Amino acid sequence: MAARKTKKEEPQESLLDVLLVLEKEKDISRDVIFDAIENSLITACKQHFGKADNVRVEMDRETGQYHVFADKEVVEEVEDPALQMSLDEAKAIDPRYVLGDIVPIEVRSRDFGRIATQNAKNVILQKIREEERRVMFDAFHDKEREVVTGVVQRYLGRNISVNLGKADAILSENEQVRTEHFEPTERIKVYILKVEDTTKGPRILVSRTHPELVKRLFESEVTEVADGIVEIMAISREAGSRTKMAVWSKDPNVDPVGACVGVNGSRVNAIVDELRGEKIDIINWDENPAILIENALSPAKVIVVIADEDEKTAQVIVPDYQLSLAIGRSGQNARLAARLTGYKIDIKSETQARESGLLDEIGYTDDMNADYAGYEEYYEGYDDTYDQEPAQETES
């Protein structure tokens, strides 16, 4: 007679193997799962016996072996079988038991009913899901106000879903640069604005318009900024168009503007490429507000700056042929300079200042404008639509 084939039994995965996978792949501590198992067993006992005040779980966290005990008091007359047992029952286990003793009775989990077993399983799964959410939330919460690389997933209406590896982020319409359009699978850098904890996992909000995005990009690209030698003191930005950034060096031997620009513009150009062609003006920071405002209006040349530190206002006089350049297209250069310095800036041409009597008030003479005499012919013909070249290509 031919031997009957039997299905080969496959070895079952041990509890420790499962915990090792959870710990490695999902970064969930095995202690958390052990606690969840203990709680699930106590829950199952409560549902099976009606109460679990006297139930305890002993678990060896090295081997994964566990035992569940229900401690019962030895009494003359049993009123609650879940908590008590008779003296005869106790002596059947061990003749040395007397009234008042506590007898540990092992509870077999296989004896639990189907509903109790299913509920115990749900307790463990729920704890795993909660721990997954907590681990993911903590991981991304630590990255708030940082720049990360993500992959464009899809458009959700006018919002964009960006995959950050273990979680998806939302790039809302308000945080998108108007001139940018992304294709699915495209890799982009985003600034993490906020991470919210929800029942469905962390809700991650990211931005492409925040000024801090530019700052973080310089920190990753420029060694001197990352090391703290060069400090970014202020940033003003109109996303997709132009950014002004004021820098300062703690080391007098390090040129902060040159460090950020890089050899042949290599460093700043890498950031400009990431920002899809957004122009970046890099200027020197100065504690003197008048000098800072003059630098901030670069590439325009300035005759004089009168700054009121109390009122946070400044009067700026520029040569007539520099007025359009100082104001910039649609007022952008002046607007960014005002945001960068924190001053309300009023720009006047030399002629306007002379007609208003401002030049006489400050004791201005024609000799003070001698340095700008050669510029008028060069700038002749430029108007308010003049597209400025980045300040890093112009001496400020």
What CA–CA distance (Å, rounded) separates 108 from 74? 21
Give domain 210-285's CATH superfamily. Answer: K homology (KH) domain (3.30.300.20)
- What is the fold of 15-139? N Utilization Substance Protein A; Chain:P; domain 4 (3.30.1480)
Residues contacting residue 157 through CB under 8 Å, at least 6 positions apart: none
What CA–CA distance (Å, rounded) separates 138 from 167? 12
Looking at residue 394, its pLDDT comes to 36
pLDDT at 70 over 80: yes
Q: What is the pLDDT of residues 22-62, one digit of tens each?
A: 777 777 777 877 888 788 777 777 776 777 778 888 887 77
Q: What is the pLDDT of residues 152-175, one digit of tens each?
A: 999 999 999 999 998 999 999 999
Looking at residue 376, its pLDDT comes to 42
Looking at residue 134, its pLDDT comes to 86
What CA–CA distance (Å, rounded) separates 348 from 14? 80
Q: Is 141 exposed, middle or buried (0-12, 13-18, 19+ CB in 10 A)?
A: middle
Residues contacting residue 134 through CB under 8 Å, at least 6 positions apart: none
What CA–CA distance (Å, rounded) separates 396 from 386? 18
Residues contacting residue 352 through CB under 8 Å, at least 6 positions apart: none
Looking at residue 222, its pLDDT comes to 97
Tally Cβ neighbours within 10 Å of residue 111: 10
As given in the structure block, the two tokens for residue 218 are 């310089």
- Top pLDDT among 9 and 31 is at 31
Looking at residue 121, its pLDDT comes to 73
Tally Cβ neighbours within 10 Å of residue 25: 8
Count CA within 13 A, CB hemisphere, residue 357. Answer: 1
> Where residue 117 falls among pLDDT bands split at 50, 70, 90?
low
Q: Are 189 and 140 in contact (CB under 8 A)?
A: no
- Which residues of the chain does CATH 2.40.50.140 include? 143-207
Q: What percent of the chain has pLDDT over 90?
A: 54
Tally Cβ neighbours within 10 Å of residue 42: 18
> Where residue 261 falls among pLDDT bands split at 50, 70, 90?
very high
Q: What is the pLDDT of residues 328-341, one digit of tens each?
A: 999 999 999 999 99
pTM value?
0.70
Q: What percent of the chain has pLDDT over 70?
A: 83
Q: Are 66 and 50 in contact (CB under 8 A)?
A: no
Residue with structure tokens 């504690």?
287
Angle between helices 114-141 and 30-49 (to 10 degrees): 150
Looking at residue 383, its pLDDT comes to 38
The correct answer on CATH 2.40.50.140 for the domain covering 143-207 is yes
What CA–CA distance (Å, rounded) separates 226 from 127? 40
Element (DSSP H or E) covering residue 348: strand 344-349
Average pLDDT over residues 10-17: 53
Looking at residue 42, its pLDDT comes to 79
Residues contacting residue 115 through CB under 8 Å, at least 6 positions apart: 47
For 318-345, b/e burial (b = at least 16 CB within 10 A) is: bbebbbbbbbbbeebbbbbbbbbbebeb
- Which residues of the chain does CATH 3.30.1480.10 include? 15-139
pLDDT at 63 over 90: no
CA dihedral 117, 118, 119, 120 (to 10 degrees): 50
Transcribe 184-240 into DSSP letters: TT-EEEEEEEEEEEETTEEEEEEESS-HHHHHHHHHHH-HHHHTTSEEEEEEEEETT
- What is the fold of 289-396? GMP Synthetase; Chain A, domain 3 (3.30.300)
- Which residues of the chain does CATH 3.30.300.20 include? 210-285, 289-396
pLDDT at 123 over 80: no
pLDDT at 15 over 80: no
